[in-house]
Chain A
């Protein structure tokens, strides 16, 4: 069972995760803007920017984050923004999005000049996240855990970050036991997605380069 502190941590993180979302007018644009490679490119760039802002607002609410060294806060966010973005957009490809949005978003991504070699691993990741049937609590905790990775470049006080991440991992482990009692491997599979995210992150830099070129 979660102890009192863990329960408080979980509801606090979940509340922040639900509160800080891509603004509704952005979602409307997703549906309204007409379909061309340029439009899709601009829209995805705008969504990525808005997503970084949403991510920072969420991260400010992670208990202990704002007491970390200021430059370490920047390094953590810079190092994890891409992964957190893929994780959050993965939710769009599970049952979370209203009917129709997912198909439109998928079409826009496929027709935005991003080369096929990046599209395939991206949608494989979305599919593997979907298969895990994750609860909102798991998404919120996994996002916080991704951000609090002590091994990001330029982190000076890795131990302080590690302590925060460990507290989150412990809560996630218990949540997995409670929410997926018949799947003992569930927690391990969630952590496995984090490694998959790292590969996507690695591809992302190359993807941006080739996207700019085309």
Chain B
């Protein structure tokens, strides 16, 4: 789950993700 990713990983992953409509 996202919660054991580091802060930077969560940010990189979310930045890459498309903006869901």
Contact = CB atoms under 8 A, between A and B. Distances in A.
Given A45-B3, A46-B3, A52 B15 contact: no
Contact of A49 (B8, B10, B12, B19): B10
A78 interface: yes
A30 B19 CA distance: 26
Interface residues of B, number: 12
A101 B19 CA distance: 29
Interface of B (DSSP majority class) = helix
Nearest to B8: A78
Contacts, number: 38
A139 to B, nearest CB: 21
Contact of B2 (A49, A60, A61, A74): A49
A52 B19 contact: no
Interface of A: 45-46, 48-50, 52-53, 56-57, 60-61, 70, 73-74, 77-78, 81
Closest 7 A/B residue pairs (Cβ)? A56-B14, A49-B3, A77-B11, A53-B14, A52-B10, A49-B2, A46-B3
Interface of B: 1-3, 5, 7-8, 10-12, 14-15, 19
Given A49-B3, A53-B14, A73-B15, 10 more contacts: A49-B1, A49-B5, A50-B2, A52-B14, A56-B15, A57-B14, A60-B15, A74-B12, A78-B8, A78-B11
